[in-house]
A = this chain, B = another copy of it.
Amino acid sequence: MSATLDVLALPREAQDLLFREARTASVFTAEPVTDDQLRAVHDLVKWGPTGVNSQPLRVVYLRGEQARARLLPHMNEGNRDKTAKAPLTAILASDADFHEHLPRTFPVVPGIRDAFAANPDRAEVAKVSALLQAGYFIIGVRAAGLAAGPMAGFDAEGVRREFFEGTARTPLVVVNIGHPDPERYYPRNPRLDFDEVATVL
């Protein structure tokens, strides 16, 4: 294990912050998450690659009591209490209308906006890159010294209607964000080994 650590260019402290010691959090301290932190996370992870630089991830941050009350009924029961108590909750969604930005974000192919406007698989294309970005986002939250608690257990159609009606946006993942209470982590679950998930041909 320690042999493989030295193979990486990323310093060990950064490895620990982002992956090895970072944990999914369900319980947070009362310390708030600031708008400066949200902007810093964005300014970092926006550089992660997406298909044709499409950047389809959209984020709705719920901080206020009233905003959160709109989300809670759509969360699975097991996710409701921790979502109610987190300092901040982010709804990560993909935008099937990402192509409207392409003339500015991918100018190298001039006709690409119109090609995607006619593409029936556009929502699926958006979902793939938005989920890559969701991965970068979770790493970015940890880069800010915060903990993320990502959840897939919610009524996606209910969240869509509540927050995204009239748009081409679809919610993918809901993430609680805050300063973790390390004494309240669950035991860490085992990971699959390299040889269980990888084949070298």
A48 within 8 A of B: yes
Given contacts A14-B11, A55-B197, A189-B53, whether A19 and B47 have CB atoms under 8 Å apart is yes
Chain A: residues with CB nearer than 8 A to chain B?
A: 1, 3-5, 7-11, 13-15, 17-20, 22, 24, 34-49, 51, 53, 55, 57-64, 67, 101, 104-108, 125, 127-129, 131-136, 138-139, 142-145, 148, 150, 152-153, 172-173, 186, 189-192, 194, 196-201
A51 to B15, CA, bound (A): 22
Copies of this protein in the assembly total 2
What would be 6 A-B contacts, judged by CB atoms less than 8 Å apart? A8-B41, A8-B44, A8-B144, A48-B139, A108-B186, A132-B134
A71 smallest CB distance to B (angstroms): 9
CA distance A201 to B17 in the complex (A): 28
